[in-house]
Structure 1
Amino acid sequence: MPKIISSGAPGPVMHDPRLNDPEQELVRTGDLAPGELESVLEVLEAMRRWREAEREHSEASQRYMRLSESDMRALRMLIAAGNQRLPMTPSAMAGQLGISTASTTKLLDRLERGGHVVRRAHPDDRRSLVIEVTEETRHAARATVGREHARRFDVIAELSREQRRTVADFFDAMAATAQRDAV
């Protein structure tokens, strides 16, 4: 009987190809040396735990700040631009976020009503506006998302240079599989 790796919660096993693809139509497990499949499944299970923890953290941050995912993404971008002293215009935001200018206007209206951003005259072009995050929102973001990112940085910094290269290569290869599937 195959070893089933799960989080302890009842339900179907998601990552074991012996159970989900027993005919090896998609995943060729027969080519792996004994014990290798369990090692691969451990990585897949760790990835699942990471995605779940990330999703839970993101949802908790959104609830805490009473914002949607797109609002949080916009604030992260605005905070980064502010930290780098880069003026962010609504049209630049639209380009960075990959959304229309009309959607950007609605997003900014929501964020402004919520007290998260202010619109100011552009420092170099008075015909244009720049968007800035309020101090209250900046502090709230640092207290939630910022601390989480700092902990992640510490975990990564503890790895050796070679381990970091391996992890970065792994994530790049995983991102490439998602890009191929999106086509």
Structure 2
Amino acid sequence: MRTATISRRTSETSIDVTVDLDGTGAYAISTGVGFFDHMLEQLSRHSLIDMQVKTVGDLHIDQHHTVEDTGLALGAAIAQALGEKRGIRRYADALSPMDETLARVAVDISGRPWLVWKTEFSTKKLGEMDTEMFEHFFHSLAQTAGLTLHIETLYGSNNHHIAEACFKGVARALREACEIDPRKADAIPSTKGSL
């Protein structure tokens, strides 16, 4: 079973994350930041990765540590659940429309963390969430999950739609990249022999 549980404790946050890569998109998310919870729910539902995320952070300061550390813990859980990455498709991409917005996402589960972020927001907050933290979340996720992750908003005007298109696009790409390819179910998808 491709599951993992990560507990992360610092003086700034206390986080427990459990993932099941072969789930149905079931989730239980609580970070203390409502819009962030909504986006993580989208990530779970559309990736079909079951996620339980419980974050208690120093929100009396700001959202930075809460969002960053949640990304780090979630990425670490995904990496642990992937194990040696035998049989995975590894590469995937997705176009994600959300009304007037279109986002494009590409992912390589390469073991080489990298984020290309080409998305802008015209407002500083969505609900109570700082929009600058979306990029930071995906950077943290890519870092510990070992993802090369490209996220680009091709066009769009509604900030909620822009954020949601990005999260749903990442979800759809992750879903495909994490899937087992029945044609190479026991092979590591690299000529190097490891990822």
TM-score class, shorter-chain normalisation, is under 0.3
- The answer to which structure, 1 or 2, has the higher relative contact order (CA under 8 A, 6+ apart) is 2
Between structures 1 and 2, the one with greater strand share: 2
The normalised TM-score by structure 2 is 0.23
The normalised TM-score by structure 1 is 0.24
Whichever of the two has the greater Rg, that structure is: 1
